[in-house]
Homo-oligomer: A and B are copies of this chain.
Amino acid sequence: MELDETDRKILRILQSDARTPFSEIARRIDMSSATVHDRVGRMEDAGVIEGYHAKVNAKAVGYGVSALVGLRVEQGREEDALEQLREIEGVTEIHLTTGEWDVMLKVAAADTDSLRDLMFDRVANMEGFSRSQTMIILGTDYETDGLPI
């Protein structure tokens, strides 16, 4: 799908606040809200907009520790490994990467004890597991609302 500058403006607004009323988006980009409605619908259908998500404070819901985890997986066992990783509660992202690690995870856990359980009981025991490195996130300095559009 081709996006013009109007579409991009709408995306910028929805990326920073997904609950902005169409009427206000319309005011800001100087078009009617029917047009905004139409364009948003088309971008949703085309998969340009993949969803709308509330960002929840991790600590408020009991997640005190986050980490990035690098994983080496045995050759030929990648699919097995991924399947098991997807089942682990607390694993919020699974990326396949080049470089030192085959897989990079982002995980959330209640505390360090629970992170240890996650890593030792679940990750290290899965089939195809080779080795891992856990990088605990001491703090997130900065996080954009999404992409620079």
A residues with CB within 8 A of B: 1, 3, 8, 11, 14-19, 46-58, 60-61, 63, 67-68, 82, 85-86, 89-101, 103-104, 108, 133-149
- Known interface pairs A94-B143, A97-B137, A142-B94; A52-B51 also in contact (CB < 8 Å): no
Q: Which residues of B contact A104 (CB under 8 A)?
A: 68, 135, 137
Q: How far is the CB of A134 from chain B (nearest CB, A)?
A: 7
This protein's copies in its complex: 2
Q: How far is the CB of A95 from chain B (nearest CB, A)?
A: 5
Chain B CB count within 10 A is highest, among A52, A89, A138, for: A52
On whether the beta carbons of A99 and B51 are closer than 8 Å, the reply is no
